[in-house]
């Protein structure tokens, strides 16, 4: 019998799931600082547009080299595309645009309110059972968020704070909606093809308007900008969203999302160390409560795995 928390899906050792989540936390935490630095060379909208296109190209090349299918199975293409628009296009588009208005740590904390929205959305859309551990963990994390956004730490008289907060919360809700819809049904398409298809829809439908909206500020090409785009395309988008799809096949969106609340904590600590972003006493207490919410949720009983999915073609040996 597996221990409570992240129960392994068929053929997926629990240790592998933990390693995938840990890698996502590490790469996404560092990406808030990397992306913020890239805004010195391009507007947030233009950079996000380029990020989607570069991720699509990188994934297409890898798919061709490894002979992975480019198209999901019939009947799953529209659904996966719409989910990609929500949890990739919406989360990154809204969230990283909001990053322009304040520090990486604060923006990351707002985006990772995602698990709070996953609890009601998972119940409404994916029929996921709400557990006491989930409620307590979510409430604890919410209390931490309130402390983190207290008026002593945030200047709510500044209109930029309201705009940035609204954008980041919109990204969080969009991500939660996409993750909950993903959990609603069984998918037979392999995980890599799922991820590629979601990035494709995002790049085709979201990148053009973002580029046009951000075109008023010229792009200054530099080694730093190219490195940031490469990191975003290969690690933060292609690899991490592939892992995220596999994690969602193992545990609920709310539970996996609770684990990812460690991303803003790590991003805040990194930002504090690198840029000197301020962390007050109450904000620090909020970080502690967010961590406590993660622990409570992960120690609880798993409210159920996703419906059975096909094996990931990248993990099946060639015959």
Tokens (6 digits) for 119: 């609890």
Which residue's structure tokens are 């990931």?
Answer: 312
Query: How far is the C-alpha of 158 from the C-alpha of 162, rounded, in Å?
Result: 7
pLDDT for 299: 60
Q: Is 110 exposed, middle or buried (0-12, 13-18, 19+ CB in 10 A)?
A: buried
- Angle, alpha carbons 280-261-145 (nearest 5°): 45
Question: Would you say 196 and 70 are in contact if contact means Cβ atoms under 8 Å apart?
Answer: yes
Question: CB neighbours of 254 closer than 8 A, spacing ≥ 6?
Answer: 115, 118, 119, 122, 128, 134, 138, 297, 303
Q: What is the pTM of this model?
A: 0.75
Query: How far is the C-alpha of 69 from the C-alpha of 194, rounded, in Å?
Result: 10
Half-sphere exposure of residue 98, counting CA atoms within 13 Å on the CB side? 25
Query: How far is the C-alpha of 27 from the C-alpha of 19, rounded, in Å?
Result: 12
pLDDT for 221: 94
pLDDT for 277: 67
What b/e string do you get for 253-289 counting C-beta neighbours within 10 Å, with b at 16 or more?
Answer: bbbbbbbbbbbbbbbbebbeeeeebebeebbeebbeb
Distances in whole angstroms, Cα of residue 34 to Cα of each of 42, 51, 90, 163: 13, 12, 20, 22
Query: How far is the C-alpha of 268 from the C-alpha of 105, rounded, in Å?
Result: 4
pLDDT for 253: 62
pLDDT for 306: 44
Q: Domain spans of the chain?
A: 14-305
Query: How far is the C-alpha of 28 from the C-alpha of 25, rounded, in Å?
Result: 5
Question: Would you say 256 and 30 are in contact if contact means Cβ atoms under 8 Å apart?
Answer: no
For the chain of 319 residues, list the mean pLDDT of each consecutive stretch of 10. 40 74 90 90 92 92 89 92 92 85 77 78 74 78 77 75 89 89 85 91 93 89 94 89 80 69 80 72 76 67 45 37
DSSP 70: S
pLDDT for 317: 29
Question: Would you say 248 and 106 are in contact if contact means Cβ atoms under 8 Å apart?
Answer: no
Residue 8: strand, helix, or coil: coil
Angle between helices 104-111 and 159-182 (to 10 degrees): 40
């Amino acid at each position: 019998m597996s221990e409570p928390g992240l129960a392994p899906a068929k053929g997926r050792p629990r240790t592998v799931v933990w390693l995938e989540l840990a890698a996502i936390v590490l790469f996404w935490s560092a990406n808030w600082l990397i992306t913020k630095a890239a805004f010195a060379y391009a507007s947030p909208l233009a950079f996000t547009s380029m990020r989607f296109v570069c991720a699509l190209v990188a994934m297409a090349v890898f798919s061709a080299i490894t002979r992975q299918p480019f198209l999901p199975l019939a009947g799953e293409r529209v659904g996966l595309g719409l989910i990609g628009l929500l949890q990739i296009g919406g989360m990154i588009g809204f969230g990283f645009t909001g990053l322009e208005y304040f520090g990486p740590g604060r923006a990351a904390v707002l985006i990772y309110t995602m698990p709070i929205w996953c609890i009601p959305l998972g119940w409404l859309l994916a029929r996921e059972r709400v557990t006491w551990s989930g409620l307590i963990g979510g409430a604890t994390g919410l209390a931490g968020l309130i402390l983190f956004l207290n008026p002593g730490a945030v200047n709510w008289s500044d209109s930029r704070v309201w705009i940035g907060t609204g954008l980041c919360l919109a990204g969080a809700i969009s991500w939660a909606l996409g993750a909950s819809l993903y959990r609603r049904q069984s998918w037979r398409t392999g995980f890599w093809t799922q991820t590629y298809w979601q990035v494709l829809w995002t790049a085709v439908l979201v990148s053009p308007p973002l580029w046009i909206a951000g075109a008023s500020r010229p792009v200054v090409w530099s080694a730093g900008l190219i490195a940031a785009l490469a990191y975003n395309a290969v690690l933060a988008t292609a690899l991490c969203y592939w892992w995220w799809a596999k994690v969602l096949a193992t545990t609920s969106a709310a539970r996996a999302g609770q684990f990812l609340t460690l991303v803003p904590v790590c991003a805040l600590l990194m930002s504090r160390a690198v840029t000197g972003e301020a962390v007050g006493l109450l904000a620090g207490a909020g970080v502690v409560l967010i961590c406590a919410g993660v622990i409570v949720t992960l120690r609880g009983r798993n409210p159920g795995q996703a419906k059975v999915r096909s094996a990931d073609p990248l993990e099946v040996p060639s015959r």
